[in-house]
Amino acid sequence: MKWNLIRVVTTPVALALALAACGSEAPVAAPTASASADEPPLPPVMGAQLRVIALGDSLFAGYGLDPGQSYPARLETALRGRGINAKIMNAGVSGNTTADGLQRLDFTLNSDPAAPALVLISLGGNDMLRGLPPEQTRSNLEAILARLQERKVPVVLMGMIAAPNLGPDYAAKFNPIFPTLAKKYGAALVPFFLQPLLGKPGLIQPDRIHPTAEGIDLMVGQTVEAVARALPAPAKSSAP
């Protein structure tokens, strides 16, 4: 799979945003994936349903937003708008680290007897916020990717960048984790998940941490093509 999908910007603004964006709040349960009653129906699609799991932290959980405004919910709508019959399970939990994601990986994967068509991963930012050793972050992410590779499940990895106050030594160890592992395990890579929000403070909630609904839509617009390419091609009909 291609893994150099979005140009990485390593300005101080980008790195400061990376520090803030993953959710320093206490862990809370992820919101349900059901949309509100006043939301328009999803576009009609054709073909077998593709089950996608979004495993991550507050950037997937949709902290501060209505359930239908989370990244997984809006991504599902965008994919369906392209005629892709995707159903995304939001397995985002605010405050989660890579260790938390690894701990609940098997339970999440086994929540349905059928293997997912794709897993999206947004983990690692809270490891950075807590100053956890990058070696630990890498080990946990590698274990997640290895397990998914064993199950032959494709992955899109949402990358993060270390904040400048952690120092150049920390950044030198943390920043290569995502591209290195994506290349090793054949995962599609979004090098910096929050890049679409750079220079757009109006797309950040008043807490100066989490994207607004409009910010989420911009992130979806910048990543939906990468996700669509990572999904398996629809099975061809055997009918004459």
Q: Which is the catalytic residue, given 100, 127, 210, 217?
A: 210
- Whether 106 is a known active-site residue: answer no
Write the CB contacts of 126 (distance below 8 Å, at least 6 apart in sequence). 22, 23, 24, 57, 95, 96, 97
- Token pair of 96, please? 């989660």
Q: Which is the catalytic residue, given 58, 70, 94, 122?
A: 58
- Whether 100 is a known active-site residue: answer no
- Whether 24 is a known active-site residue: answer no
- Token pair of 195, please? 């890049």
Tell me how far apart the alpha carbons of residues 94 and 167 are, in angstroms, rounded to a whole number.
25
Angstrom distances, CA of residue 142 to CA of 4, 65, 124, 190, 191: 19, 30, 12, 16, 16
**E-state strands within 81-201:** 86-92, 118-122, 155-158, 188-190
- Token pair of 21, please? 């964006």
Q: Which is the catalytic residue, given 66, 112, 169, 207?
A: 207
Tell me how far apart the alpha carbons of residues 148 and 154 are, in angstroms, rounded to a whole number.
7
- SS3 label, residue 82: coil
Q: Is 23 exposed, middle or buried (0-12, 13-18, 19+ CB in 10 A)?
A: buried
Which residues are designated catalytic? Answer: 58, 207, 210
